Amino acid sequence: MTLPNKLTVARMAMVPIFVVFLMIPEIPFHYFGACLIFMVASYTDHLDGMIARKQGLITTFGKFMDPLADKVLIVTALVCFVRLDLCSVWFVVLIIAREFMVTGVRLVAVEGGKVIAANKWGKLKTISQIIAVLVILVFQSVAQFQQLSAGTVLSLNMIGNFLVGVCCFFTLLSGGIYLKENWKIVSETK
């Protein structure tokens, strides 16, 4: 297994650890711990792609699993945020629906012997999602450290939810573009 693929697998392995830190308030400064884990996991996304391109280690496994690992990490964070009342369930449902649709198209393509790599719109979507999740985690960490007023925490939560709405927009836009670019694959499926 190549180093980029090992990094992708490591990102997947970090997801349950991230959930433990995020969802168990008995862990001291659990939001801060979740934020650090999410930052490391997100950086592996950048790192694995950079190494794969630089060293010519792009594989079919990486083309398929790298975007899947991103989806698992982001969707897990967003579902946890819904449970913690940090973002709107509607944004998360739309994001998950788009992710299922794109993964379905990828699976159909693989069945036909084609691997569809992420395009620039998908990368923009991923970056916007990572930023939204990180901002929410940083806000929650600051609220934990600083003992902010309820009004300030509410304002921070509203900003975080707005950012999830922005990333939802980019997610749906990139999904529409992805479907349009790959419609031939979908329409030729028996």
What pLDDT digit, counting tens, does each position of 3-36 carry?
889 999 999 999 999 999 999 999 999 999 999 9
pLDDT band at 189 (very low <50, low <70, confident <90, very high): low
The Cα 141–Cα 137 span in angstroms is 6
What are the domain boundaries of the chain?
3-187
Reply yes or no on whether the pLDDT at 162 is more than 90.
yes
pLDDT at 147: 81
Q: Is the pLDDT of residue 84 over 90?
A: yes
CA atoms of 11 and 128, how far apart (whole Å): 18
Q: Does domain 3-187 have CATH number 2.60.40?
A: no
pLDDT higher than 80, residue 156: yes
In the predicted model, is pLDDT for residue 113 greater than 80? no
pLDDT value at residue 179: 87
Tokens found for residue 42: 């997100």
Measured in residues, the chain has a length of 190
Choose among 86, 126, 80, 85: nearest CA to 102: 126
Instruction: Compute the chain's Rg from CA coordinates.
Output: 17
pTM score over 0.75: yes
The torsion angles phi and psi of 76, rounded to 5 degrees, stand at -60, -45
**CA dist., res. 7 & res. 105, Å (int):** 25
Angle subtended at Cα 137 by Cα 151 and Cα 22, rounded to the nearest 5 degrees: 110
What DSSP state is assigned to residue 39?
H
